[in-house]
Amino acid sequence: MRLSASTVALCALLLAATPGTGWADDPASTASPAATSKEARETESKAAWKEAAAAATKGPADVPFMAQAVLKLPPGLAFVPVGPSNRLLRSWGNQEGGPGFIGTIFPVEGGENWFITAHFRDAGYVKDEEAKNWNVDALLTSAKEGVDASNVDREARGFAKLKVDGWIEKPVYDAAQHRLVYAIGISDQDAPAGAESGVNYHTYALGREGYITLDLVTGTSTIERFKDRAKTVLAALEYQPGKKYEEFVAGTDRIAEYGIAALVAGVAAKKLGLLALGGLAIAKFGGAIVAFAKPIGLGLVALFAGIGRMFTRRNR
């Protein structure tokens, strides 16, 4: 199956943040690009991919996640650190990852159309009792509002407007492992009815001082195939001794100003529109840069095959 530029736009980034401290409010993350022409974006995207490939760490490897955790990066995956990842995000139409951004994870081998973004949120200890009775449907309303707000920025920068389609997977919380998973579909406002929809597949790992988000980006036709990739990466994440959720010390440690319901019903939704920007630029320019093939109408499979070759060439 081949996906159009509009279809790939559906595979959007959703990088969750904390209430009142979202990266959208950070001046460093709101600068507009110097140019919006096709040629300028193609040139920048090509340079961004080259920088990312040169800086990538290929698994198996232990990747520090700040002073909080270690990702035991599995074979077949590549981790790109903050600087090159931010440049990629901008070249795709996104704003930068902002406070707490750790980097991005890509499949090294071709034929897998997904990638993951990683953040640490220094929110304090997030209580999880609310997971027993939260109202998850409130997220969709908030998400739509976030998309409407972000579309102003998208339009000014030459990218198509987006809309929220609905749940792909409703929130599920594992109280034993302190892990949260959910997924939302979004689409181009001009996409025809029944068109392929993008998926933001979000995983959270709660810790003693905050939480780590690992957000997988793919499409509705591939989410069932690739969502286990996000779970594999989540399972490979280990908090450092002293940073684990179960090591919380009551009366001493800082407690977050909100509970786990806010991660679903308000926090992530605030960021959906602002980060649902990446796929369009990937579709139009990424394939030409990475695979050196026809840029318009490239399927995600072809695009990510090119990404795999880029990382493979670098390691060779």
Which tokens in the block code for residue 280? 């369009």
Give pTM, 2 decimals: 0.72
pLDDT the model gives residue 287: 28
Question: What is the rounded distance in angstroms from the CA atom of residue 23 to the CA atom of residue 149?
Answer: 15
What's at 237, amino acid-wise? L
Residue with tokens 């074979």: 75
Of the candidate ranges 20-29, 99-108, 300-309, the one whose mean pLDDT is the lowest = 20-29
Can you tell me the mean pLDDT for 42-51?
Answer: 88
Of the candidate ranges 208-222, 255-269, 293-307, the one whose mean pLDDT is the lowest = 293-307
Question: What is the rounded distance in angstroms from the CA atom of residue 291 to the CA atom of residue 286?
Answer: 8
The burial of 193, by beta-carbon neighbours within 10 Å (0-12 exposed, 13-18 middle, 19 or more buried), is given as exposed
Which tokens in the block code for residue 275? 């980060």
Pairing, β 101-107 against β 57-58: unpaired
Start-to-end Cα distance in the chain: 30
Q: Kindly indicate the confidence band of residue 265, based on its pLDDT and cuts at 50, 70 and 90.
A: low
pLDDT the model gives residue 219: 81
| Residues 184, 215 contacting (CB under 8 angstroms) | no
Q: What would the DSSP string read from start to end of the chain? A: ----HHHHTTS-------TT--GGG-GGG-PPPS--SHHHHHHHHHHHHHHHHHH-EESSEEEEETTTEEEEEPTTEEEEEHHHHHHHHHHHTPPP--TTEEEEEEESSTT---EEEEEEE---B---GGGGT--TTHHHHHHHHHHHHHHHHHHHTT---EEEEEEEEEEEEETTTTEEEEEEEEEETTPPTT---EEEEEEEEEBSS-EEEEEEEEETTTHHHHHHHHHHHHHTEEEPTT-BGGG--TTTSPBPSS-THHIIIIIHHHHHHHHTTHHHHIIIIIHHHHT-S--TT--HHHHHHHHHHHHHHHH-
Tell me how far CA of residue 69 lies from CA of 6, 66, 100, 213, in angstroms: 36, 7, 13, 12
Can you tell me the mean pLDDT for 102-127?
Answer: 91
Can you tell me the mean pLDDT for 166-181?
Answer: 90
Q: Which CATH class is domain 5-315?
A: alpha beta
pLDDT the model gives residue 86: 92
**Looking at per-residue confidence, does 227 or 197 come out higher?**
227
pLDDT the model gives residue 183: 84
- In the chain, what are the domain boundaries? 5-315
pLDDT the model gives residue 289: 22
Of the candidate ranges 59-68, 128-137, 244-253, the one whose mean pLDDT is the lowest = 128-137
Q: Kindly indicate the confidence band of residue 143, based on its pLDDT and cuts at 50, 70 and 90.
A: low
pLDDT the model gives residue 216: 92
Q: Kindly indicate the confidence band of residue 64, based on its pLDDT and cuts at 50, 70 and 90.
A: very high
Question: What is the rounded distance in angstroms from the CA atom of residue 6 to the CA atom of residue 287?
Answer: 14
Question: What is the rounded distance in angstroms from the CA atom of residue 172 to the CA atom of residue 85?
Answer: 29
| Average confidence score pLDDT of the chain | 73
Of the candidate ranges 42-56, 137-151, 291-305, the one whose mean pLDDT is the lowest = 291-305
pLDDT in tens, 73-90: 999 999 999 999 999 888
CB atoms within 10 A of CB 257: 13
Of the candidate ranges 152-161, 190-199, 260-269, the one whose mean pLDDT is the lowest = 260-269
Dihedrals phi, psi of 169, to nearest 5 degrees: -145, 120
CB atoms within 10 A of CB 156: 10
Of the candidate ranges 74-78, 99-103, 192-196, the one whose mean pLDDT is the lowest = 192-196
Question: What is the rounded distance in angstroms from the CA atom of residue 185 to the CA atom of residue 222?
Answer: 12
